[in-house]
Structure 1
Amino acid sequence: MTDTPNTPARRSAHDWTDPVAAARLRKRKRSQLWLKGLGLTAICFAFLMLALLVTSIFSSGYKAFRQTHVTVEAYIDPELIKPDNIERGNYRAIIQNVVADLFPGAEARELRDLKNILSNGAQFTIRDHVVENPDLIGQTVTFTVPVSDPYDQLAKNLIKRETPEENRRLKDDQIAAFDQLKAAGLITKKINTALITEADSRFPELAGLKGAIIGSFYALLTCFVLSFPIGIGAAIYLEEFAPRNRFTDIIEININNLAAVPSVVFGLLALAVFLGWFGMPRSVPFVGGMTLALMTLPTIIIATRAALKAVPPSIREAALGVGASKQQVVFGHVLPLAMPGILTGTIIGLAQALGETAPLLLIGMNAFITSAPATPFDSATALPTQIFIWADSPERGFVSRTSAAILVLLTFLIMMNAIAIFLRQKFERKW
């Protein structure tokens, strides 16, 4: 006997007002709401952790973007600076005379302590000005020089005045001398351009990122020059020309596995091959770029193949239909259409290489270098290794500079990812 639409069996199958079906529907909606809630919670938690990370770095690093300076008048004594040998003049004595002029009533022992208010680089600042302008010899010149790190921390309230004297780096008389200069209007806070324009130094108030930035640029340039053409060539061959057999399958599996290999392994490979077998120099951006190229190649190959696969088959068929060869189809039609995706994957791979530390540490790009490299074959550091060096320093002043260097590195990474997004949106074609 066939059930009519009004029978219980028929109603339970199609009538959503049935209690059993309504209960199942409510259960499904509750499950959907729970899943949505868990997803939103995960996203909010991730943004919260990101906000805490950025806030902690910024709160510690923003103070390094300003530096405390003191304005002094220095007499360039011809007895101390000989015109025929300006670079080897007694600039230390000039600094002593400057401090004596700032504190005329101080004794010799006090002057030795008060001299520490000025940065150790003050004498070199004066020397550089005199070398550039020899006519300053015999004149009284006004200079603005950084104060030493403890006094810079005092000005930034990192050294608390209410801390007991025996627990402070600066004693009460040293703080009083600094306050005397501040009351005279000689203490100023300026934007710390030296953080970008100067190289590394053992003194926190003089240390900068110029050498690390240029070293990272040379390393990334080498990485791009090597990995971009090789990666695109390998991807085009594997995707468009290589026969499908066991050999190419093994190559594809290995490429995918290499993309997941820890970066320290590539550093060990570079240490053994580039430095051990080939005898290439340590701490050189060119070797660092070669190491990063090895690490970036799998990423570029995978991204390029994905971009080539995204081109519709109709493009290839249309080109072949009008008599184009396989090579003409690939290089004249498919590759130009896939180039936005290729560029995006390349920039993301380079951004990842910019933040790598372990492989550069293994090839020695963490040496103490006080000058910026002029060529990719000069010794240098990179931004990640410079952060590692400063983070490992016992000097209190390098704490804020470490966070500031992290902010600079994050700025470069954000810029590179923004460029990748822009290129993708501007040149991407949809079918």
Structure 2
Amino acid sequence: MSDIARIPTDWKTDAMQRRIRRRYAAERRFRLIGLGAVLLSAAFLAFLLITMMANGLRGFTQTEVRLDIDFAASDLFLDPATLQGPNVDRALASVNIDGVVRNAAETQYEGVSRLLSDAAWLRVREAIKDDPSILTRTETFWLPASDHIDVAAKGEGAPEAEAAYDRLQAAEAVKTGFNGRFLSAADATDPTVVGIWGALKGSLLTMAVTIALAFPIGVLSAVYLEEYAARNRWTDMIEVSINNLAAVPSIIFGLLGLAVFLNFMHLPRSAPLVGGMVLALMTMPVIVIAGRNAIKSVPPSIRDAALGIGASRIQVVFHHVLPLALPGILTGTIIGMARALGETAPLLMIGMRAFIATPPGGITDPATVLPVQIYLWSDEVSRGFVEKTSAAIIVLLIFLLAMNGLAIYLRNKFERRW
């Protein structure tokens, strides 16, 4: 009797039914475990986003206090006629505008301490520069409140601050609105006047240097290794080295940048140029590996057909292979750039943790980046920096999503199907 004849075909026996039930039960358990893993991951993600939004959205708002200043009765002794031409800043620097603002606040809101931000007088100075005629009259300003008044306005202040805020609210002398300065200013020591634009611009410049160096070098390296390099022990060593570099801790690249770019080449410290070069070294292995895999996935028939109609080797590569491999290459680039955007350790090693009060003007100016700015703000003791840290994280996530969205759009645009 053959083996086929001995195979049981009666699926209605008790033994076969038990086996079938065990198989279906195992499949249901596996599906439930998978669904539980997905739900757990979604719950953690939702918790992260809700927490960041709850704390971060308040970082985009600012509390302001109304203040009436009688400049004619103050001790500024400035003639509006002198505030013309290039000497305006020198003339304003010679008078105590901060003292005038403090005296006006103490007079108008007697008994309320720590009312205004330490940088509130800067807004008054800018108003005088824009319109010197206000020195001859009483002017009403809306100035940023101190951090403890700002926190009280958002329902988390100390009892003393809550009482001061209630008094201001009763006098209709306080309001909370969108803080546009947070998106246009740089770092500061006062949480009420800090901004994220300096760090955001530093990240943009650093990412521009990174992609300008890592993408062409990584793609050309992948093309050479896959299409031109001979298969020998040296090629194998290069491949192993590239794979190992992709797994090297990022702080090692920071030490390399410190030793080579700063100590040996004497490039400017804390500059987007150096930061971009360090991140390019870290990103290149990822792009090379993804590029090689994408080039391998192009069917050999594409190459044979192009060679058969007389195309040269370089025409085959750049006219046929690379366009078909470009979506996979862009996927690797997205992964590498996303990793570079969130890096902090290598940039700390090259000095990009400095206090930068003005946005950088170019790739050689001192700058910081979003992850480092978040790290610095999270280490501050002031309560006002907590929500600014969460707001900066929201900006970083939006920047990351925008960058990935652009890359995905380009990948889909250049994708070809065969």
Deviation at 1:328, TM superposition (A): 0.8
Q: Which residue of 1 aligns with 2:105?
A: 99
Q: 2:323, 2:414 within 8 Å by CA — same for their partners in 1?
A: no
Task: Decide which of 368, 374, 378 is 1:391's aligned counterpart.
Answer: 378
Q: Which residue of 2 aligns with 1:206?
A: 193
Q: Which residue of 2 aligns with 1:166?
A: none
Cα separation, 1, equivalents of 2:260 and 2:400: 29
Q: Which residue of 1 aligns with 2:339?
A: 352
Cα separation, 1, equivalents of 2:282 and 2:168: 53
Deviation at 1:17, TM superposition (A): 2.7
Q: 1:12, 1:21 within 8 Å by CA — same for their partners in 2?
A: no
More divergent stretch after superposition (330-339 vs 231-240): 330-339
Cα separation, 2, equivalents of 1:321 and 1:15: 59
SS at match of 1:190: strand
Deviation at 1:331, TM superposition (A): 0.9
More divergent stretch after superposition (14-23 vs 307-316): 14-23
1:120 aligns with 2:118: yes
1:75 aligns with 2:70: yes
Q: Which residue of 2 aligns with 1:164?
A: none
1:52 aligns with 2:47: yes
Q: Which residue of 2 aligns with 1:309?
A: 296
Cα separation, 1, equivalents of 2:406 and 2:348: 28
Deviations 1:10-38 (A, max 9, x none): 47533323443333333222222222222
Cα separation, 2, equivalents of 1:296 and 1:379: 22
Q: Which residue of 1 aligns with 2:229?
A: 242
Q: Which residue of 2 aligns with 1:86?
A: 92
Q: Which residue of 1 aligns with 2:88?
A: none
1:403 aligns with 2:409: no
Q: Which residue of 2 aligns with 1:168?
A: none
Cα separation, 2, equivalents of 1:396 and 1:37: 43
Cα separation, 2, equivalents of 1:320 and 1:268: 46
Task: Decide which of 168, 177, 182 is 1:190's aligned counterpart.
Answer: 177
More divergent stretch after superposition (85-94 vs 235-244): 85-94
Matched AA of 1:265: I
Q: Which residue of 2 aligns with 1:282?
A: 269
Deviations 1:261-300 (A, max 9, x none): 1111111111121122222222111111111101110111
Deviations 1:174-230 (A, max 9, x none): 654443321121211111112211111111111111110011111101101111111
Q: Which residue of 1 aligns with 2:135?
A: 137
Q: 1:284, 1:376 within 8 Å by CA — same for their partners in 2?
A: yes
Deviation at 1:246, TM superposition (A): 1.2
Deviation at 1:424, TM superposition (A): 3.2
Cα separation, 1, equivalents of 2:348 and 2:283: 17
Deviations 1:288-337 (A, max 9, x none): 11111011101111121122122222211110000111111001111122
Task: Decide which of 14, 19, 37 is 1:42's aligned counterpart.
Answer: 37
Q: Which residue of 2 aligns with 1:324?
A: 311
Task: Decide which of 337, 340, 356 is 1:369's aligned counterpart.
Answer: 356
1:149 aligns with 2:144: no
Matched AA of 2:401: I
Task: Decide which of 366, 371, 374 is 1:379's aligned counterpart.
Answer: 366
Q: Which residue of 1 aligns with 2:86?
A: none
Q: 2:67, 2:142 within 8 Å by CA — same for their partners in 1?
A: yes
Matched AA of 2:55: S
Deviation at 1:160, TM superposition (A): 4.7
Cα separation, 2, equivalents of 1:340 and 1:427: 7
Matched AA of 1:414: L
1:64 aligns with 2:66: no
1:340 aligns with 2:322: no
Cα separation, 2, equivalents of 1:74 and 1:208: 27
Q: 1:227, 1:296 within 8 Å by CA — same for their partners in 2?
A: yes
TM-score by length of 1: 0.89
SS at match of 1:137: helix
Identity %: 46
Cα separation, 1, equivalents of 2:410 and 2:16: 50
Q: 1:223, 1:293 within 8 Å by CA — same for their partners in 2?
A: yes
Matched AA of 1:66: T
Matched AA of 2:156: L
Q: 1:69, 1:189 within 8 Å by CA — same for their partners in 2?
A: yes
Matched AA of 1:30: A
Task: Decide which of 250, 268, 285 is 1:298's aligned counterpart.
Answer: 285
Cα separation, 1, equivalents of 2:408 and 2:213: 23
SS at match of 1:14: coil
Matched AA of 2:348: L
Q: 1:200, 1:209 within 8 Å by CA — same for their partners in 2?
A: yes
SS at match of 2:127: helix
Q: Which residue of 2 aligns with 1:167?
A: none
Cα separation, 2, equivalents of 1:65 and 1:45: 30
Q: 1:75, 1:94 within 8 Å by CA — same for their partners in 2?
A: no
Deviations 1:116-160 (A, max 9, x none): 201111111111121233333323322211100001011111115
Q: 1:22 to 1:3 in 2, by over 3 A?
A: farther
Q: Which residue of 1 aligns with 2:87?
A: none
Q: Tell me, which stretches of 5 or more residues in structure 2 are unaligned?
A: 84-90
Cα separation, 1, equivalents of 2:408 and 2:396: 19
Q: 1:357 to 1:3 in 2, by over 3 A?
A: closer
Task: Decide which of 406, 414, 418 is 1:427's aligned counterpart.
Answer: 414
Task: Decide which of 192, 198, 203 is 1:216's aligned counterpart.
Answer: 203
More divergent stretch after superposition (264-273 vs 275-284): 275-284
Q: 1:12, 1:20 within 8 Å by CA — same for their partners in 2?
A: no
Matched AA of 1:281: P
